Amino acid sequence: MKRILIVTGQSGSGKSSALQVLEDLGYYCIDNLPLALLPEIVAKLDLENNLELLALGVDVRSTRADLQAFDDVFEQLQKHGSVDIIYLTTQDQELIRRFSASRRPHPLASRFKSLVECIEEEKNLLIPIKFRSTVHIDTTDKSVHDLKHTLLHKLGQNDNLILILQSFGYKHGIPLDADYVFDVRHLPNPHWNLELREFSGLDQPVQTFLEESEQVNEMFNDIYGFLNKWLPAFSEGHRHYMTVSIGCTGGQHRSVYIVDRLKKALEAKWSIQVLHREMKHWS
């Protein structure tokens, strides 16, 4: 078996939808089996079915003891292929809204009086799995279509490290799926130049404006130097995905420019995916 994906995360964050997307991509999907049984089942599938792509749905319906012993399960699964963990998360208020809209009980509802308590306990129970996750996706503002798009981006390559460069605006919230976040709000802001406001960091007038700033160039060089130095180590440590988010105030000018410049500087060595999260807000 070449590739095993474990899909997990908070109830209501989109695990079932993610498994449906993976099934469409050719993965053999199994959902909601006890964690302790997974190594035996995967070994049997590997021996008898010659599968190349397997996705396993895991959630808090497994016992507490099984969840706490996840490291052992993970190591046994690694004997059968490359293992990555997709961890889905959603902000608490959005989870509450989704459960209220669906009128479905939380899996822990029989043990706690309130939905808030269920959500907090679930986060604690999933810590052993979250700690090992290699792909972290925040689905708070994502439709099923958006989730599919994100998965396609992050699963685009099997063995080599994929660097996801993401621009965002702080006024729309910090992305929860980032491995590293760099704040560039201190740099000169093209927004205050009326001739540049309507453009984005992908447009030449904004790029020319920012390239003339020594501070912008120093910030870029520092971020590029960090990534250029440490990406090989991350890759050698069997990281398949690395999400680096660059944030400015609105996510239209400075962060977009830095992401575009980083892409051009790094794409000769690395597989790059670019996401401009706030593109829908651009004027």
The CATH number of whichever domain residue 60 belongs to comes to: 3.40.50.300
| Residues 64, 130 share a domain | yes
Residue 145: per-residue pLDDT: 82
Is residue 248 very low, low, confident or very high in pLDDT (cuts 50, 70, 90)? Answer: very high
| Residues 228, 133 share a domain | no
Residue 157: per-residue pLDDT: 47
15 is in an annotated binding site: yes
Residue 31: per-residue pLDDT: 92
14 is in an annotated binding site: yes
Higher pLDDT, 281 or 205: 205
62 is in an annotated binding site: yes
283 is in an annotated binding site: no
9 is in an annotated binding site: yes
| Residues 126, 89 share a domain | yes
Res 149 pLDDT > 90: no
13 is in an annotated binding site: yes
The domain boundary residue, chosen from 138, 154, 170: 154
Is residue 160 very low, low, confident or very high in pLDDT (cuts 50, 70, 90)? Answer: low
Higher pLDDT, 283 or 117: 117
Other C-beta atoms closer than 10 Å to the C-beta of 89 total 20
**How many folded domains does the chain comprise?**
2
The percentage of residues in the chain with a pLDDT greater than 70, rounded to a whole number, is 97
| Residues 13, 132 share a domain | yes
Domain membership of residue 224 as a residue range = 162-281
| Residues 243, 107 share a domain | no
| Residues 253, 133 share a domain | no
Higher pLDDT, 283 or 97: 97
CB neighbour list of residue 185: distance below 8 Å, 6 or more residues apart: 170, 247, 248, 249, 254
| Residues 198, 103 share a domain | no
| Residues 182, 142 share a domain | no
Higher pLDDT, 74 or 156: 74
10 is in an annotated binding site: yes
| Residues 12, 85 share a domain | yes
pTM, 2 dp:
0.59
11 is in an annotated binding site: yes
